[in-house]
Amino acid sequence: MKLGFHDFDFEIDDAFFEKYEYSMIQKGELKAHLQLEKKETMFIALFTVDGFIHTTCDRCTDDLKLPIHGEFQLIYKFGHEESHDENLIVLHPDEYQLDVSDAIYELIIISLPNKVTHPQGACNPEMMELINQHSIFSTEEEEEDEDWEDDEDFDEDDSDDDADDELDNDDEDFDPNQPIDPRWSILKNLN
Protein backbone atom coordinates (compact mmCIF):
# COMPACT_ATOMS: atom_id res chain seq x y z
CA MET A 1 0.00 0.00 0.00
CA LYS A 2 1.38 3.39 -0.96
CA LEU A 3 1.77 6.29 1.45
CA GLY A 4 -1.27 8.56 1.55
CA PHE A 5 -5.04 8.17 1.88
CA HIS A 6 -6.98 5.02 1.02
CA ASP A 7 -10.77 4.56 1.27
CA PHE A 8 -12.61 1.30 2.03
CA ASP A 9 -16.36 0.63 2.25
CA PHE A 10 -17.98 -2.31 4.03
CA GLU A 11 -21.55 -3.64 4.00
CA ILE A 12 -22.60 -4.90 7.43
CA ASP A 13 -25.49 -7.34 7.72
CA ASP A 14 -26.70 -10.12 10.04
CA ALA A 15 -23.75 -12.38 9.14
CA PHE A 16 -21.34 -9.79 10.59
CA PHE A 17 -23.01 -9.95 14.03
CA GLU A 18 -23.05 -13.79 14.03
CA LYS A 19 -19.25 -13.67 14.42
CA TYR A 20 -19.73 -12.20 17.92
CA GLU A 21 -21.12 -14.99 20.07
CA TYR A 22 -22.65 -12.84 22.82
CA SER A 23 -23.49 -9.84 20.69
CA MET A 24 -26.25 -7.58 21.95
CA ILE A 25 -27.09 -6.96 18.26
CA GLN A 26 -28.36 -9.78 16.07
CA LYS A 27 -29.58 -7.97 12.95
CA GLY A 28 -28.66 -4.82 11.11
CA GLU A 29 -28.10 -3.08 7.81
CA LEU A 30 -25.19 -0.70 8.05
CA LYS A 31 -22.47 0.78 5.91
CA ALA A 32 -19.02 1.36 7.33
CA HIS A 33 -16.45 3.62 5.72
CA LEU A 34 -12.76 3.54 6.57
CA GLN A 35 -10.41 6.29 5.54
CA LEU A 36 -6.91 4.98 6.11
CA GLU A 37 -3.93 7.30 5.98
CA LYS A 38 -0.69 5.37 5.59
CA LYS A 39 2.45 6.96 6.98
CA GLU A 40 5.98 5.53 7.32
CA THR A 41 5.44 3.78 10.67
CA MET A 42 1.70 3.95 11.27
CA PHE A 43 -1.83 4.04 9.89
CA ILE A 44 -4.37 6.64 10.97
CA ALA A 45 -7.82 5.11 10.58
CA LEU A 46 -11.02 7.15 10.61
CA PHE A 47 -14.09 4.90 10.89
CA THR A 48 -17.63 6.04 10.10
CA VAL A 49 -20.74 3.88 10.40
CA ASP A 50 -24.32 4.64 9.30
CA GLY A 51 -27.44 2.51 9.08
CA PHE A 52 -29.96 0.67 11.22
CA ILE A 53 -29.95 -2.17 13.72
CA HIS A 54 -32.98 -4.26 14.65
CA THR A 55 -33.51 -4.55 18.37
CA THR A 56 -36.34 -4.37 20.92
CA CYS A 57 -37.72 -1.34 22.69
CA ASP A 58 -36.62 -1.14 26.34
CA ARG A 59 -40.07 0.18 27.26
CA CYS A 60 -42.64 -1.96 25.39
CA THR A 61 -40.39 -4.82 24.09
CA ASP A 62 -41.73 -4.49 20.52
CA ASP A 63 -39.35 -4.65 17.58
CA LEU A 64 -37.52 -1.43 16.85
CA LYS A 65 -35.47 -0.30 13.87
CA LEU A 66 -32.86 1.95 15.46
CA PRO A 67 -30.79 4.40 13.39
CA ILE A 68 -27.05 4.30 14.14
CA HIS A 69 -24.42 6.87 13.29
CA GLY A 70 -20.94 7.09 14.72
CA GLU A 71 -17.32 7.80 13.99
CA PHE A 72 -13.99 7.44 15.70
CA GLN A 73 -10.29 7.38 14.99
CA LEU A 74 -7.73 4.67 15.72
CA ILE A 75 -3.99 4.69 15.20
CA TYR A 76 -2.26 1.49 14.12
CA LYS A 77 1.47 1.70 14.81
CA PHE A 78 4.23 -0.76 14.00
CA GLY A 79 6.37 -1.81 16.95
CA HIS A 80 7.04 -4.37 19.69
CA GLU A 81 5.87 -2.45 22.78
CA GLU A 82 2.51 -2.98 24.43
CA SER A 83 -0.11 -0.24 24.10
CA HIS A 84 -2.04 1.01 27.11
CA ASP A 85 -3.99 3.53 25.04
CA GLU A 86 -7.34 2.26 23.74
CA ASN A 87 -6.97 4.43 20.63
CA LEU A 88 -3.55 3.03 19.73
CA ILE A 89 -3.06 -0.51 18.43
CA VAL A 90 0.49 -1.78 18.07
CA LEU A 91 1.10 -4.10 15.12
CA HIS A 92 4.08 -6.42 14.78
CA PRO A 93 6.46 -5.04 12.11
CA ASP A 94 5.90 -8.19 9.99
CA GLU A 95 2.08 -7.74 9.88
CA TYR A 96 0.74 -7.42 6.35
CA GLN A 97 -3.03 -7.56 7.00
CA LEU A 98 -5.26 -5.31 9.07
CA ASP A 99 -8.47 -6.80 10.54
CA VAL A 100 -10.83 -3.90 11.27
CA SER A 101 -13.97 -5.94 12.10
CA ASP A 102 -13.55 -5.57 15.88
CA ALA A 103 -13.06 -1.81 15.55
CA ILE A 104 -16.23 -1.51 13.45
CA TYR A 105 -18.21 -3.68 15.91
CA GLU A 106 -16.99 -1.58 18.83
CA LEU A 107 -17.99 1.62 17.03
CA ILE A 108 -21.51 0.26 16.46
CA ILE A 109 -21.84 -0.71 20.14
CA ILE A 110 -20.66 2.65 21.47
CA SER A 111 -23.02 4.42 19.06
CA LEU A 112 -26.05 2.83 20.76
CA PRO A 113 -28.02 5.13 23.07
CA ASN A 114 -28.23 4.27 26.78
CA LYS A 115 -31.97 3.72 26.54
CA VAL A 116 -33.39 2.19 23.36
CA THR A 117 -37.04 3.23 23.01
CA HIS A 118 -39.60 4.14 20.40
CA PRO A 119 -40.30 7.85 19.96
CA GLN A 120 -42.81 9.20 22.48
CA GLY A 121 -46.28 7.80 21.77
CA ALA A 122 -45.10 5.12 19.32
CA CYS A 123 -44.87 2.19 21.77
CA ASN A 124 -47.30 -0.74 21.67
CA PRO A 125 -50.49 0.67 23.32
CA GLU A 126 -51.53 -2.70 24.80
CA MET A 127 -48.15 -3.16 26.47
CA MET A 128 -48.14 0.42 27.71
CA GLU A 129 -51.56 -0.13 29.30
CA LEU A 130 -50.24 -3.23 31.10
CA ILE A 131 -47.15 -1.37 32.27
CA ASN A 132 -49.31 1.49 33.59
CA GLN A 133 -51.53 -0.97 35.48
CA HIS A 134 -48.61 -2.70 37.20
CA SER A 135 -46.19 0.10 37.93
CA ILE A 136 -46.04 2.74 40.62
CA PHE A 137 -45.48 5.50 38.07
CA SER A 138 -47.22 5.56 34.73
CA THR A 139 -45.09 5.75 31.60
CA GLU A 140 -46.45 9.25 30.98
CA GLU A 141 -44.96 10.33 34.33
CA GLU A 142 -41.64 8.69 33.39
CA GLU A 143 -41.61 10.56 30.08
CA GLU A 144 -42.42 13.80 31.92
CA ASP A 145 -39.54 13.05 34.34
CA GLU A 146 -37.19 12.53 31.38
CA ASP A 147 -38.33 15.84 29.92
CA TRP A 148 -37.90 17.50 33.32
CA GLU A 149 -34.32 16.19 33.64
CA ASP A 150 -33.51 17.71 30.26
CA ASP A 151 -34.95 21.11 31.28
CA GLU A 152 -32.23 23.75 31.39
CA ASP A 153 -34.07 25.78 34.05
CA PHE A 154 -33.65 22.99 36.61
CA ASP A 155 -32.02 24.24 39.79
CA GLU A 156 -30.37 21.49 41.85
CA ASP A 157 -30.58 23.56 45.06
CA ASP A 158 -34.39 23.58 44.78
CA SER A 159 -34.49 19.78 44.52
CA ASP A 160 -32.45 19.41 47.74
CA ASP A 161 -34.96 21.60 49.61
CA ASP A 162 -37.83 19.41 48.39
CA ALA A 163 -36.01 16.26 49.51
CA ASP A 164 -35.38 17.77 52.98
CA ASP A 165 -39.08 18.64 53.30
CA GLU A 166 -40.01 15.05 52.47
CA LEU A 167 -37.60 13.73 55.11
CA ASP A 168 -39.08 16.09 57.71
CA ASN A 169 -42.57 14.82 56.92
CA ASP A 170 -41.40 11.21 57.36
CA ASP A 171 -40.08 12.06 60.86
CA GLU A 172 -43.52 13.38 61.87
CA ASP A 173 -45.10 10.01 60.98
CA PHE A 174 -42.62 8.06 63.13
CA ASP A 175 -44.16 6.36 66.16
CA PRO A 176 -41.59 4.87 68.60
CA ASN A 177 -44.26 2.61 70.15
CA GLN A 178 -45.02 0.92 66.84
CA PRO A 179 -43.31 -2.51 66.51
CA ILE A 180 -40.23 -2.59 64.29
CA ASP A 181 -40.24 -4.80 61.22
CA PRO A 182 -38.15 -7.91 62.19
CA ARG A 183 -35.97 -7.49 59.11
CA TRP A 184 -34.86 -4.07 60.42
CA SER A 185 -34.63 -5.01 64.10
CA ILE A 186 -31.57 -7.16 63.35
CA LEU A 187 -29.71 -4.01 62.25
CA LYS A 188 -30.33 -2.39 65.64
CA ASN A 189 -27.78 -4.74 67.25
CA LEU A 190 -24.97 -4.07 64.75
CA ASN A 191 -22.85 -1.61 66.68
In a domain, 180, yes or no: no
Phi, psi (rounded to 5 degrees) for 96: -130, 0
Same structural domain, 30 and 79: yes
**pTM score, two decimals?**
0.64
In a domain, 165, yes or no: yes
Same structural domain, 91 and 163: no
User: Which run of H or E residues covers position 65?
Assistant: strand 63-78
Same structural domain, 91 and 142: no
Q: Is 16 a residue whose pLDDT tops 50? A: yes
Same structural domain, 92 and 29: yes
Give per-residue pLDDT as tens, 58-73. Answer: 888 898 999 999 999 9
Phi, psi (rounded to 5 degrees) for 58: -65, -20
Number of domains present in the structure of the chain: 2
In a domain, 47, yes or no: yes
Give per-residue pLDDT as tens, 117-171. Answer: 888 888 888 988 888 888 776 555 555 555 544 444 445 455 455 545 544 555 5
Domain of residue 74, residue span? 4-110
Same structural domain, 80 and 13: yes
Same structural domain, 98 and 9: yes
Same structural domain, 52 and 103: yes
Measured at the CA of 26, the angle between CA 20 and CA 28, to 5 degrees, comes to: 110
In a domain, 58, yes or no: yes
Compute the mean pLDDT over every residue in the chain, rounded to the nearest whole number.
Answer: 80
Same structural domain, 20 and 60: yes
In a domain, 162, yes or no: yes
In a domain, 28, yes or no: yes
